Amino acid sequence: MNFTFFKLALVAVLVQSAVISLYAQNKIMVAAHRGDWRNAPENSLRAFIYAADMGVDFVELDLAKTKDGELVIMHDGTIDRTTDGKGQPADYTLAELRKFRLRSGMTYLTNNHIPTFREVMMALKGRPVKINLDKSFPYYREAYAILKETGTLNQALFKSGETYQKLSQTYPDLLDHIAYMPVVDLDKSGAKTYIQDYLTHMKPFAFELVFSQDTSFIWSHMDLIKKTGAKIWINSLWPSLNAGHDDDKAVEENNKKDSWDWLIKHGADILQTDRPQRMLEYLKQKGLHH
C-alpha cells in the first residue's frame, strides 16, 4: 500500500473519530413521541401533560381539522384506531368529535377525549417544553394564528418533508416568524442537495434525519449542518427510522451502545423516543441531558 495514502486514510479516520467524540459531549434533548402514550392515550391532553411533568424538552403531536375548521390532535387519517368512532376528523364538527373517547395503548376506552390544538398549547404555555407540530403542513396558517392568540409561538416547532421551494411558495409570509425543521430522508439520492438548499435560503432550527442504513454520507459530513448552528433531530422509535439503533434495542435488549449511544455519537442533539422516562433516566445518569 502507498505509505502516503495510508497516512492520509489514517488521518481521515482519526479526524472523523474526534468529530464523533465531540458530538458525544453535547447535551441531548428528549422529545416524547405523541406524549407519554404508555401512561395515557396517545395524543391526549393527559399524555402531553405527563410528558412535560417528567421533564422532556419536546412533545410531538399531529394536527388534523374538523368539519367546522377546528384544529385537533390526531395522528391517523381516521379516528378508527384511537377512538370508539369511525371516519375522518373532517367528517365531524368539534362538538360531534368530542362525543368519542380515546383508547389507551392496550385499546380499552378511557374517559379522555380528542383535544384541540388550542387546549394543548394553553395547557403547556409557559412550561419549559417545546411542541413539535407533525402532520401540520396543510394547517400552518391556522396553527400560527392559534399560537399568536395563545402567546405560545416561541414554544412551537414547525416541520415537514417538503422542499424549500414548496415551503417558500406556500408560506412565504411565515418563514421569518416560525422555528422550522426540514425532514430529510437520507436514503434518497437527493438528500445532500435538499439539505444544502435549506441551508442556502434559511436557518432551520434543526434537521430531522431519517435513515434505514447507517452508511449515509451525512455521518462524515455532519459539519454541513452543525457549522450553521442547526441541531440534529433523530428518531429512536422503530428500526426503519434509524437503521436499527432504536428504543427497543436500548430498553428490551439493554444494548445502549448500539442504540441511543450510537445516535448520540453520530451527532444527535434531539432524540425523539417512545421511552421518554427511560431515556431521561439514562441521559441524566450519564450527565448528558440538556
Query: Tens of pLDDT along 52-63?
Result: 999 999 999 999
Distances (CA, A) of 178 to 257, 261, 263: 36, 31, 27
pLDDT(8) > 90: no
pLDDT of residue 11: 38
pLDDT of residue 183: 98
Q: Taking residues 159-174, report their average pLDDT.
A: 98
pLDDT of residue 215: 79
- What angle do the packed helices 117-124 and 140-150 form, to 10 degrees? 40
pLDDT of residue 2: 54
Q: What is the pLDDT of residues 194-252, one digit of tens each?
A: 999 999 999 999 999 999 998 777 887 788 899 999 999 999 999 999 999 999 999 99
Q: What is the pLDDT of residues 92-151, one digit of tens each?
A: 999 999 999 999 999 999 999 999 999 999 999 999 999 999 999 999 999 999 999 999
Place domain 3-33+161-285 in its CATH homologous superfamily: Phosphatidylinositol (PI) phosphodiesterase (3.20.20.190)
Q: Taking residues 144-171, report their average pLDDT.
A: 98
- Name 182's Cβ contacts closer than 8 Å, sequence gap at least 6: 159, 160, 161, 162, 164, 194, 195, 198, 204, 207, 208
Q: Phi and psi for 191 in degrees, rounded to 5?
A: -60, -45
pLDDT(288) > 80: yes
Global confidence as pTM: 0.91
pLDDT of residue 25: 55
Rounded to the nearest integer, the mean pLDDT of the chain is: 92
How open is the CA angle 175-180-182, to the nearest 5 degrees? 115
Query: What's the grid cell of residue 29?
Result: 434533548
Alpha helix positions (H), 55-163: 94-97, 117-124, 140-150
Query: What's the grid cell of residue 45?
Result: 391532553
pLDDT of residue 17: 44
What span, in angstroms and rounded, lies between the C-alpha atoms of 45 and 124? 10
170-175-178-184 Cα dihedral, nearest 10 degrees: 70
pLDDT(75) > 70: yes
Percentage of the chain lying above the pLDDT 90 cut = 87
